[in-house]
Amino acid sequence: MFDFLSQTFRNFKHTGAVWPSGDKLAREMTSSLRASSGPKRVLEVGPGTGPFTSRILQSIHPEDEFHIVEINPFFCNVIETRLLEPFRKLHPDTKVQLHESPIELAPIDGPFDHIICGLPFNNFPPALVRGIFKRMLSLLAEDGDLTYFEYAAVRVMKAPITTPKSRRNLRRIDAHGKRLHRRHRGSRQLVMANFPPAVAVRLHQPTN
């Protein structure tokens, strides 16, 4: 908890929250992994201190492959020492790789069957949001799913207390999210048992 809060105060733009995601949200964000059968490739983007990572690791089998992309070196160290090193000792033959990089430049190749993203999109410029989604969707397999989350009604709450430019950016991010939702058979699941309440959004890559 202290690790997350210290990074939040130092770099709120990339952390995007003042409290790590809870277990109920982590379960919802990773639900498609538990329903998956056969070998799978999984990508996590922006894990922070790893609330989703720990849940993903519980669903990883020896024939699977798991890649993690995190821009913050402090969080990379937390993920590596607290989660990945113990996992590798128990599962030495399972491929799990951590990349310290922005997702736009990460040295990874698709396709991935499942992508779980914890990035704080409402803190980013709209052009960056579009670029991140473009990269993630380019890495997603046919019939794969991409899951991200946003805090419930966050744009409504932020609009009255932010600058006109920020309000325009929030509207553009919201419009982009709605386009993706229509194009990729999106679904939304409200998770009230999180602080603050959050919505898990799942997009599906259409088959050709």
> Can you tell me the distance from the alpha carbon of 75 to that of 5, in angstroms, rounded to the nearest whole number?
12
Structure tokens at 95: 């491929």
Q: Please report the sign of the dihedral spanned by the C-alpha atoms of residue 136, residue 35, residue 25, residue 179.
A: positive
Q: What is the pLDDT of residues 103-117, one digit of tens each?
A: 999 999 999 999 999
- Which residue has better confidence, 6 or 177? 177
* Bridge partners for 149 per DSSP: 200
Return the closest-CA partner of residue 118 out of 18, 19, 13, 29: 29
Q: Tell me what pLDDT residue 44 has.
A: 98
Q: What is the mean pLDDT of the chain?
A: 88
- Mean pLDDT on 80-108: 97
> Can you tell me the distance from the alpha carbon of 72 to that of 54, in angstroms, rounded to the nearest whole number?
18
> Can you tell me the distance from the alpha carbon of 117 to that of 113, in angstroms, rounded to the nearest whole number?
13
Return the closest-CA partner of residue 27 out of 63, 65, 64, 58: 58
Q: What is the pLDDT of residues 48-69, one digit of tens each?
A: 999 999 999 999 999 999 999 9
Contact 114, 36 (CB under 8 A): yes
Banded model confidence at residue 161, pLDDT cuts 50, 70, 90? low
Tokens 């990074």 found at: 7
Backbone angles phi, psi at 203, to 5 degrees: -110, 150
Banded model confidence at residue 10, pLDDT cuts 50, 70, 90? low
